[in-house]
Structure 1
Amino acid sequence: MGTVLITGSAGFIGFFVASSLLESGETVIGIDNFNSYYTPELKRARTDILRNYTNFVPLEMDLVERDAVKSCFAKYSPEIVFHSAAQAGVRHSLKNPHAYQQSNLEGFINLIEEAKQTGIKRFVYASSSSVYGGNTKMPYAEDDPVNTPVSLYAATKRANELIAYTYTHLWNLQTIGLRFFTVYGPWGRPDMAYWSFLEAILHDEPIKVFNFGKNRRDFTYIDEIVSGVIAALRSDRLEPYEIINLGNNTPVELMEFIELLESFAGKKAIKEMVPPQPGDVVATYADITRAQSKLDFQPRTALKEGLERFVSWYLENRDLVRKVREFRRQNK
């Protein structure tokens, strides 16, 4: 495969993709800006694990800095890019839109432009199931209309797909967009429900159950996502421009999800039933026919199994999760 550039290598998905590639002997250049959307200590802990590999090169930089991006490509000459760096979070985009403008638009353009200029073989990037917006047809298929995003985060992810299309159309840069569906697992993101709900349950704090618990999500375990990303980096069955869903293909209602967390925590949640949150969608459900055909993608981890692994990891890493909790409380 050659040298792979991974942006967001200290993030949840980027970390696991980097680990897999490093384990198989690939050289990985990992970029992250270690921002404070959640505690940087979690990101640095992930990066410390990657530093154990001699074929890993960590770079602390921001993709908004165009000259830094140019210097990175000039120095390391990557052949393939996996772009997972982004400002995440639907709800955060309601409060801090400029973070999404900078990371998800400016950063994306700086990176894909340099990929074009240097003749990158393949540009794989993280999109999101959020682009489907309020679509009611289930499951979501890649050819469904996606012109009505219900959050700024979703709009920036759809913009990435459109920008990628123009780079493929005008300059023959192969671009592969992967629409991820609610990824979870050990070393995950503290802003996601599986983490924040477990934390609240263990500390006897109430959790807000939006849309009165009627939301459904296609929870997808991290191992499945990694297998899909690696296949997207390597597969010879991909067109010059691709959009592909990566999901579990099994949506679960929020109340069932909470009950599983309760069973593993050994405690009942204090539930505060509330109306829908602005920007949220009622359900996500991935049609994975294209991923199965082109990436040999096949989810195998049921939610019960995946959540049990996450809870075990959480309980085994008390010092780290305590730092995450303290950071969250200090930055409310």
Structure 2
Amino acid sequence: MATIILASPLLFIPIIVIAFFLGVSVFFIVKQQTSAVIETFGKYSSIRNSGLQFKIPIVQRIAGRVNLKIQQLDVLVETKTKDDVFVRLKISVQFQVIKDKVYDAFYKLENPHDQITSYVFDVVRAEVPKMKLDDVFERKDDIAIAVKAELNEAMSDYGYDIIKTLVTDIDPDVQVKAAMNRINAAEREKVAAEYEAEAERIKIVAKARAEAESKRLQGQGIADQRREIARGLEESVDVLNNVGINSQEASALIVVTQHYDTLQSIGEETNTNLILLPNSPQAGSNMLNDMIASFVASNQIGEQMKKENAAKGIGARPKKKRTPPPSSSSDTDVSF
């Protein structure tokens, strides 16, 4: 009779554990955009790319993994400009390991970030002291191009490609920034003052032109008013002459009428402070008599000046005989 011996399940546990560790040590996974460096007994053996890979346990090992993605390193550099202003620049360097040069990138540089930082410091401190502060802001692209050219030349031998360099921040000293802000504010205030002055000048010119036009129109209106008054007086005198009233009587009548019209217009205003002097009933005739007397006196003075001028002309040239003009009563007598 055969005897069946069943193995205990505990005997399979060590076998499973050994198989698991062998599987882990033989197979490994490399992620996308990553390369794994394999060494055999401490010596470079191969480079494995993304996917499921295997190695010989104990004999081979993963020396390291290299990131093939684009990386960014921010470097802060403090330096001095040509006009002795200290300024801090933030340089952003975007770089990537060249896929065909993973060996150089892994074995030639211990710390690539420190290497890139050193080159950035060297280039920035060589370029910025040649520029004034305003030029640093205006020519920041030139600084970035210079940094990229220097880094590409130096880092390509180590398996790194410099994708782009950017000057992302320019930060002068606090006092310098305050001074720049004051200068900017003063410049803007100057421009604002110029615009305000120009606007004020335009308003003054426009106001002066308006006043000039107003006075011109006012003067034209006064002239037209006086012309119409004279025309009305002339028509009034003609009407009075047609009814047998002579010019002197007509003038007296018109003056008296205007005098009383003025008194009536003043009386119609309740809040007026105007006083017409003289305002007696005979004021109109007195005014007319004064006007006639002044006209007569002016005519007499003019005739006297003509006689004196004629006498001076005769005394200066006695040899020349002058024929006196025929006498006319209209030259000596003025009647009203």
What TM-score do the two structures reach when normalised by structure 2? 0.19
Higher relative contact order (CA 8 A, sep 6+): 1
Q: How does the TM-score come out when normalised to structure 1?
A: 0.19
